[in-house]
Amino acid sequence: MSRRAAIHRKTNETDIRLKLNLDGRGQSRVSTSIRFFDHMLDLVARHGAFDLEITAKGDLDVDQHHTVEDVGIALGEAVLKALGSKRGILRAGYFLMPMDETLAAAAVDLSGRPYCVVKAKISAKRVGDFQTELAEDFFQGFAQAARANVHLRGLYGRSSHHQVEAMFKAFARALRFAVSRDKRLRSVLPSTKGLL
């Protein structure tokens, strides 16, 4: 069964087209006009083993916030749609991602209940052309739209670049595990409530 989704999110601030294949090969084509953010989204595809296409046009003359948050929302909507009933998935995943002097942790639960906690002390206001505070807005947008718990911590690190990158990689790896199919419980919903 194909686990793919296509999303078109259009607001007065952004116009985003996104295609996702949860069972891909880590291939991506991303264009948001924010180069460092494009790089982070490429990492999500590669480390998540997802195929991901994103074209985002936003009011960057105002700020990067709308574009970054709305891409997170569109990705969350795509994951939710591609998962369908959620039967047979592992549901939760976690990962510790080292990157040289930096260590980041991520945990994702596709619980049906949106909640996001991001804790990181990133000293630089920008990495490349990306406003670092917006990383949290991306993950918040994803968690709300995917109806998922997302917890991220930058445990330590000197380089702001490494801290942001390690968090995106850890998130991708945790999400990859959470959406994976459990061969032993193929048709079982991973919840005793009977609803996710």
Mean pLDDT, range 35-53, rounded to an integer? 98
Cα(153)–Cα(194) distance, rounded to whole angstroms? 31
Among candidates 7, 54, 49, which has minimal Cα distance to 24? 49
Q: For position 190, what pLDDT does the model report? A: 87
Q: For position 195, what pLDDT does the model report? A: 81
Q: For position 194, what pLDDT does the model report? A: 81
77-120, pLDDT tens digit by residue? 999 999 999 999 999 999 999 999 999 999 999 999 999 999 99
Cα(153)–Cα(55) distance, rounded to whole angstroms? 28
The pLDDT confidence band at residue 32, using thresholds 50, 70 and 90, is very high
The pLDDT confidence band at residue 76, using thresholds 50, 70 and 90, is very high
Checking if the pLDDT of 1 tops 80, the result is no
Q: Which two tokens stand for residue 61?
A: 């003359």
Percent of the chain whose predicted confidence (pLDDT) is above 70: 100
Q: Are the beta carbons of 164 and 40 closer than 8 angstroms? A: yes
Mean pLDDT, range 25-39, rounded to an integer? 98
- Map tokens 């990962």 to a residue: 95
> Under DSSP, is residue 68 helix (H, G, I), strand (E, B) or coil?
helix
* pTM: predicted TM-score of the whole model, two decimal places: 0.96
Is the four-CA dihedral 107, 110, 113, 115 of positive or negative sign? positive
Is the four-CA dihedral 162, 46, 140, 8 of positive or negative sign? positive
The pLDDT confidence band at residue 17, using thresholds 50, 70 and 90, is very high
Checking if the pLDDT of 36 tops 80, the result is yes
The pLDDT confidence band at residue 165, using thresholds 50, 70 and 90, is very high
- Sorted by sequence, the CB contacts under 8 Å of residue 50 that are 6+ apart come out as 20, 21, 22, 24, 26, 44, 172, 176
Q: What are phi and psi of 70, to 5 degrees?
A: -70, -30
The pLDDT confidence band at residue 143, using thresholds 50, 70 and 90, is very high
Chain centre distance of CA 145:
11
